[in-house]
Amino acid sequence: MEVPLRKAVIPAAGLGTRFLPATKATPKEMLPLVDKPTIQYVVEEAVRCGLTDILMITGRGKTSLEDHFDRSLELEYALEQGGKLGLRDEVRAIAEMAEIHYVRQGEPRGLGHAVSMARRHVGGEPFVVMLGDDVMHERSGVLEGMLDTFERYQHSVVAFKEVAWSEISSYGCATAEPVEDRVIRVLDIVEKPSPQEAPSNLAVMGRYVFTPAIFNALDQVKPGKGGEIQLTDAIKLLLAGEPVYGWTFRDGRFDAGNKIDYLRATVELALERDDIGPAFRTVLAELVKRHGLA
């Protein structure tokens, strides 16, 4: 019997060293894109796809994530008293959009270890893993396509995007064969190969749909560099027992853990806003003219 997908796991225990000193006291997931924390974009994506049972894997110094998705009665009262009812409702809705649970990863032992901590919460159900650094624009339709692929094939699905060969050493990378439009079957997968050793430029992009079998694979993974357990290594082991598919896409993804892409996301998302987009467009046009970038 097919089990409906309803659970998402969001690993959010990383230290955010690429954004120091901003992340010294503020979780990287709470850095804003315009006026919304990056982690909220990820949760909203899950909710749009019907995934309203969410487990966040956090770590020390991450309590502001829990505070953000909780009610703030004092703030709501202050907004109400100030006549800002629309903003009050917006703040309240954040706490009501999903049922969010938390478990703490005591030490940084890799993405695979973080995912393994979801075993008790997930139980025997299929589930989604969404990395907090990867913000998917609504137009990308990545998770929707992956869920549709899982529904048809009933096997794990990984998101892939072609990247420049010079960038492939930053990602998991796959050997694959085409199955249908945008769907591939993964034949092999490796973690962060050099451009010379990479079997392709198909890079893993921070969205996964897993069968519960991934937990048995994670149990078998040997710790690598720094004692970390890599999720990519578990997917490679999973391939030995069951098919793994991929959903490919071209655009709509922002790497919020990369400074340049973070700035790009801020600009693009701001330009789309009805309230600030037109004024911000004027500001950018003035900057382009002033710096001779046209």
Q: Give per-residue pLDDT as tens, 107-163.
A: 878 999 999 999 999 988 999 999 999 999 988 999 999 999 999 999 999 999 999
Residue span of the structural domain in which 228 resides: 7-257
Residue 281 CB contacts under 8 Å (≥ 6 apart), including other chains: 271
Q: How far apart are the first and last CA of the chain?
A: 59
**CA 16, chain centre distance (Å):** 14
Do 130 and 55 touch, CB atoms closer than 8 A?
Answer: no
Domain count, the chain: 2
Is 128 part of any domain? yes
> Based on the domain organization, do 140 and 98 belong to the same domain?
yes
Is 30 part of any domain? yes
> Based on the domain organization, do 268 and 195 belong to the same domain?
no
Q: Can you spell out the DSSP letters for 205-263?
A: EEEEEE-THHHHHHHHPPP-GGGPPPHHHHHHHHTTTS-EEEEE--S-EEETTSHHHHH
Q: What is the CATH number of the domain that holds 225?
A: 3.90.550.10
According to DSSP, the residues that pair with 160 across neighbouring strands are 204, 248
The pLDDT tens digits along the chain (294 residues) read 455 789 999 999 888 889 999 999 999 999 999 999 999 999 999 999 999 999 999 988 899 999 999 999 999 999 999 999 999 999 999 999 999 999 999 887 899 999 999 999 998 899 999 999 999 998 899 999 999 999 999 999 999 999 999 999 999 999 999 999 999 999 999 999 999 989 999 999 999 999 999 999 999 998 877 788 999 999 999 999 999 999 999 999 999 989 999 999 999 999 999 999 999 999 999 999 998 887
Is 1 part of any domain? no
My answer on whether omega of the bond before 27 falls inside 30° of 0, hence cis, is: no
3-state secondary structure of 96: helix
